[in-house]
Amino acid sequence: MIPDLTALLTAIQPADADAMDRARARQAQLTKPAGALGDLEDLSVRLAGVLGHERPNPRGVAVIVAAGDHGVARAGVSAYPPEVTPAMVANFLADTPAGPGGAAVNALARAVGARVYVMDAGVNADLPEHPALVRAALRRGTHDLSVQAAMSVDEAQTLILAGAALARRAIEDGADVLIPGEMGIGNTTPAAAITARLLGLDAARVTGRGTGVDDARLAHKVAVIRVALDRTPTTDPLEVLAEFGGFEIAAMLGVMLQAAASRRAVILDGFVEGSAALIGVTLTPHLRDYLFPAGECAEIGHAAQLAHLGLKPMFHLNLRLGEGTGGVLAAPILLGAAATLREMRTFAEAGVPGSDIEEERGAASPGAGS
């Protein structure tokens, strides 16, 4: 492991337990029935632990979209050709009447006030010059993971550090909430291979339709992943990333690690992001404290990832686009959870006799406060 990556992993510490205790105590005194804000209450307490204060005040949301191509895409595992990847990178960067970027993630980011960063992590094309494009590619796409390792361990570590560097830039620009996103035709195949290996599951249990393949192509996709998994028995997380991963998956892992090392929150979008998170938590279990899943996506392996991580999604919208779109949609939920803990008054602050209120509510019918 290269020294910079070792230092990054070492810098990731557990969430602040004292801040979470203070947040729970404050949460119990806010002007509402206990538990009335549901999962927002747990989210707010977890954010307190990330940011180190019982009144968390996250400011700035950044989505970092890493794009990379995959040699395995040539094996027919996707409904779309690999040429879509560079076309979508151009779309992320395009000038439109609404503002920069014409993709779903751009539209959603504008709607919630998030900033979009775009990285070439290894696109198989000559991308035009653009001032907003961060170039980190070592080569044009990974090798076919069903035939050989997708990349070397050194390449994987280099892309992790490139993602970490872009995360530091986003944090310097004011982001306290980071959303790793991705673009890469065929990338649910490496995500499924990583998930199957790290969770010890058969490929069929974690492989979905990705871009919408039919039954025959899904069966082919599962077979390709099984061939890849049969090449090597490794369970070492960096070797798993190198053998089965993608350059954009490595970059997203770097974003997560740097965010955690800097005590910033990470919103997980979907299945591909989840595969990066599995590698990260295997490398350093403390990373889990900083991860906030957006929604459970339509890929069948995502639920298995979240169960293994012990994390609960914020919503179920059957998303499967990627790009960080689900993460952007979740950002207002996370910011709202922080606002309730930070800005709501306690019973004492409001001059309301909380204990009397609670006794009265307890005597009311179960649906009285709904």
The C-alpha atoms of residue 354 and residue 107 are separated, in whole angstroms, by 43
Q: Please, are residues 63 and 116 in contact by the beta-carbon 8 Å criterion?
A: yes
For residue 265, the surrounding DSSP H or E stretch is strand 265-268
What is the chain's alpha carbon radius of gyration, rounded to the nearest angstrom?
Answer: 21
- Three-state SS string over 110-161 comes to HHHCCEEEEEEEECCCCCCCCCCEEECCCCCCCCCCCCCCCCCHHHHHHHHH
How many CB atoms are closer than 10 A to CB 355?
A: 8
Identify whether 41 is a catalytic site residue.
no
Tell me the two tokens of residue 69.
């191509």
Give exposure, 136-145, as e/b (b: 16+ Cβ within 10 Å).
bbbebbbbbb
Active-site residue, from 41, 83, 323, 358: 323
Tell me the two tokens of residue 138.
């070592």
Nearest to 287 by CA among 299, 304, 273: 273
Query: What is residue 315's three-state secondary structure?
Result: strand
The C-alpha atoms of residue 133 and residue 328 are separated, in whole angstroms, by 20
Q: Please, are residues 9 and 257 in contact by the beta-carbon 8 Å criterion?
A: yes
The C-alpha atoms of residue 164 and residue 37 are separated, in whole angstroms, by 34
Q: Which residues pair with 318 in a beta bridge?
A: none
The C-alpha atoms of residue 237 and residue 277 are separated, in whole angstroms, by 11
Residue 5 phi/psi, 5° resolution? -70, -40
Q: Where in the sequence numbering do the catalytic residues fall?
A: 323
